[in-house]
Amino acid sequence: INAEYMGISALLVLRSRMSGGKKVVAYFYDDEIGNFYYGSGHPMKPHRMRMAHNLILAYGLYKKMEIYRPTLLSEEHMTRFHSDDYVHFLQHVSPDNNHEYSTELNRYNMDVDCPVFDGLFKFCQMSSGGSVGGAYKLNRGSADIAINWSGGLHHAKKSEASGFCYINDIVLAILELLKYHARVLYIDIDIHHGDGVEEAFYTTDRVMTVSFHKYGDYFPGTGGINDVGVNRGRNYAINFPLHDGIDDVSFEQIFRQVIGRVMDTYRPGAVVMQCGADSLVGDRLGCFNVTLKGHGACVDFVKQYNVPLLLVGGGGYTIRNVARCWAYETSIALDSKLSDELPYNNYYEYYGPDFQLHLTPSNMENLNSQQYLEKTTGIVFDILRQMPHAPSVQYSKQIPRDPELENPEENPDIRIQPWESDSLMEDEREFYDESDVADPSSTAQYRQTMHMDL
């Protein structure tokens, strides 16, 4: 082993693995992320990331992780996937000048779902910087698991915003992982189909996408069982369409069966998992009956494969449950058990009246019959059988250093001390009645854009 090349942190991870020690977890968070505001009545609330982080602090989980402030990703780095003109537009548009960009607003699908708000581009930089930074740490061997709950914006397209998403941090992170890994697996348990990520890698076998989602008259309207990829990517896009009301038992059953078969067949070098919390029971835009235990069981199952793992956020519109979910799944990454009684924290009043961590399932009907789930699982297995076993590809084992992602002088990794975090005043507009959230039936139209061919 070339110690100078790997670096001390990577050797510490290797030593931990060889001694059977716990996984090294790198956690990315910027306390400014909660200041951004999509607008009055908009269901996307960046404030939820601050709430999740506060729970992570209150439970003491921060003591067990390496905590980093993400680099603000550059315009140039974003154009490794997104078109130059689209990124340039995001960098320069603002609420003050958007009247000058009427043509571009229409071209780039900037509408009610994807509004122009103060600090939009910086928000994109933070969100994507955490995911790409996490992928970079996984590549260098300085972490086993990387977490960026402000990422997971899986709907963004190459030249278009979509579904509250502007820059696709997941695609950029996967491109970073592909510098070192021959194959990367993307798993999506958001209630909405991971269309932006699937579309980006629809023609390549170096990335397999697997999405479990509500399908039918539901945004974004894609992700049918027969959408399997094209050309070299045929059979490397897996979709498991679901109906309303799926519960923990059913969700965990299909997840274990499908992902178990995918891991055995595809053998990825790294996994990116989008943990959208809108698939939880009680979500304002969702219609599933999955609790934290069922959602978290999926994360735990993937973690057991001991493959470099990047966990990112995503949807989630009942923000007290989003915070519960991501704090709980952080504990899963750390092999730490949490008390069901929530510790006192800055947002304690949000969690009433029970002030408990775990959620109770509702009495809604599960419209996913056992027969339907078994039939769909069988179709997925048939697709996987048509796939060549673990495709090989030539790639470099060397991991080039990226000054933008390291840059220790201008933007060093900063451990966030508990007394420093959450010291900012919250935007008073974030204190709202969650029952007043906008209509859950988003009607933003899916548009076909160009695929990436790697």
Peptide bond into 388 cis (omega under 30): no
Spatial distance between the Cα atoms of 192 and 401, rounded to a whole number of angstroms = 35
Q: Which two tokens stand for residue 397?
A: 């084992």
Say how far apart CA 372 and CA 270 lie, in whole Å: 31
Residue 315 to residue 136: CA distance in whole angstroms: 24
Which residues is 332 bridged to in the sheet? none
Look at residues 170, 145, 142 and name the one whose alpha carbon lies nearest to residue 155.
170
Q: How large is the C-alpha radius of gyration of the chain?
A: 21
Residue of 47, 53, 155, 181 marked active site: 155
Instruction: Return the HEC string of 77-126.
Output: HHCCCCCHHHHHHHHHCCCCCHHHHHHHHHHCCCCCCCCCCCCHHHHHHH
Residue the block writes with tokens 């996913």: 368
Greatest alpha-carbon pair distance for the chain in Å reads 60
Tell which residue, 212, 196, 283, has the closest CA to residue 252: 212
Quick one: which of 41, 153, 94 has its CA closest to 430?
41
Distance CA 120, CA 106 (A): 17
**Is-contact 201 209, C-beta < 8 A?**
yes
Question: Which residues face 280 on adjacent strands?
Answer: 290
Evaluate whether 236 touches 281 at the Cβ level (below 8 Å). no
Q: Give catalytic status of residue 358 as yes or no.
A: no
For the sheet with 66-68, list strands across it: 66-68, 25-28, 145-148, 309-312, 270-274, 184-188, 207-214, 237-242
- Which residues carry out catalysis? 155
